[in-house]
Structure 1
């Protein structure tokens, strides 16, 4: 059965991540071998949202995309439910990868961000974990891959703004069976397939005024000041903006 989301005057059908899609990035391989729930839904991605046709045209004209992801609470065996995780490619003609910005709409999220050595994804240079609640902003700066974990007992709903001109890179995460750490019921565990994994740095979300938003304001409203999001499409021109984020 299709899962849909009404956003403004439009209804969008979800892209569904199934349990079997997560096996390559999961900690508890033995649980996956035993489970008979491989075809169950894990989480839902509503992509390219806009409240009306005028907003959608403005979003497209600025090479952006606004998405909402819904992650029900649950476990992957001994590991908390999470997204598959991915990296972003570099902006053509530069050595700077595309960033992304998230906002928690409902529930709470644990964002794991990792920076790896170029062409040696098993050598991790930095790992940061940010726990965010409703209204909080989390910026994934250039150079970092990321995974979102729902370590709560409530459904997580989060939004993101991102450049629409690229495809996410999943292969390194799959090849190494996940990110550099897994979040289990008793805490974070290192992924042994990585050659080098530094300790986690625990950070706070961005202040709401980082993008000029009022406290509790939905970042979709940046559609009215869309030039503020140009750092997502031309990050090479905003390196000072990213300084100190992590």
Structure 2
């Protein structure tokens, strides 16, 4: 108890990510072995202001979530999410996308594109409150809280799939770790490209703008079809995937 989230008068309890849920992906394994199983971050899924909003969200195959990540150090590494990829859309060769907005604090989004066993692109987007960060098809992603403040972020995503955690677990984390000394390549990857740093940006094609609460797109929810049918909306992803 004590971690409930009040979202427009609706109180939600979280799914809790524990430290030892993350055993495979933490950089500082010596530190990890000495630690008790503490709470790391909190995930509040399938939120809505009211029943009519929720019905509309479900009918469009979507889900709105909030994640809260208090500041912490995992040994020599900043606290982060476990990291995952998305599966491909049935009948297509394109995987599902996701979009995030920082509500409070600051986030570092690490995105990596895999082709077979190789990572061919790594993107880092550093975002502050109000900023939008898009995860395009084909990219796994990890969120890092490098600040000394609590990170609160929202996401819109298709509700009809389960995330794939194993590809990142089997390589003991993402292609890079963010340590106090900076980004360090993960030596368990056979090849790691240099990081492309991108700034948060607007996505007018999807009705998403930095500084504008992206929950409000529920009132124009067809704009989020790119999350359910990414194969039909390549125009949304071109700005971030182009080197």
CA distance in 2, matches of 1:217, 1:137: 9
Q: Which moved more, 1:164-173 or 1:204-213?
A: 204-213
**Please, which of 205, 224, 228 is the counterpart of residue 223 of structure 2?**
228
2:55 pairs with 1:34: no
Q: 1:244: how far off? A: 2.2
Which residue in 1 is equivalent to 2:120? 125
Which residue in 1 is equivalent to 2:167? 172
Q: Residues 215, 149 of structure 1: CA spacing in aligned structure 2 closer, same or farther, 3 A cutoff?
A: closer
Q: 1:211: how far off? A: 3.8
Conserved 8 A contact 2:102-2:152:
yes
Structure 2 portions without partners, runs of 5+: none
**Please, which of 144, 150, 158 is the counterpart of residue 145 of structure 2?**
150
2:104 pairs with 1:109: no
* Residues 161-200 of structure 1 deviation map (CA, whole Å, 9 limit, x = unaligned): 0000000000011111100000000100111100000110
CA distance in 1, matches of 2:48, 2:65: 9
Conserved 8 A contact 1:209-1:215:
no
CA distance in 2, matches of 1:68, 1:34: 30
* Residues 101-145 of structure 1 deviation map (CA, whole Å, 9 limit, x = unaligned): 000000000000000113x2xx11000100000000000000100
Q: Give the CA RMSD over aligned residues.
A: 1.3
Q: Secondary structure at the match of 1:178?
A: coil
Q: Secondary structure at the match of 1:83?
A: coil
Q: Secondary structure at the match of 1:241?
A: helix
CA distance in 2, matches of 1:209, 1:181: 30
Structure 1 portions without partners, runs of 5+: none
Conserved 8 A contact 1:136-1:208:
no
2:181 pairs with 1:183: no
Q: 1:210: how far off? A: 5.8
Q: Secondary structure at the match of 1:243?
A: helix
2:85 pairs with 1:87: yes
Which residue in 1 is equivalent to 2:200? 205
Conserved 8 A contact 2:202-2:208:
no
Which residue in 2 is equivalent to 1:3? 3
Which residue in 1 is equivalent to 2:51? 53
Conserved 8 A contact 2:206-2:236:
no
Tell me how many residue pairs correspond in the alignment: 241
CA distance in 1, matches of 2:211, 2:25: 33
Q: 1:23: how far off? A: 1.2
Q: Give the TM-score, by structure 1 length.
A: 0.95
Q: Residues 55, 175 of structure 1: CA spacing in aligned structure 2 closer, same or farther, 3 A cutoff?
A: same
Q: Give the TM-score, by structure 2 length.
A: 0.96
CA distance in 2, matches of 1:224, 1:192: 46
Which residue in 2 is equivalent to 1:43? 41
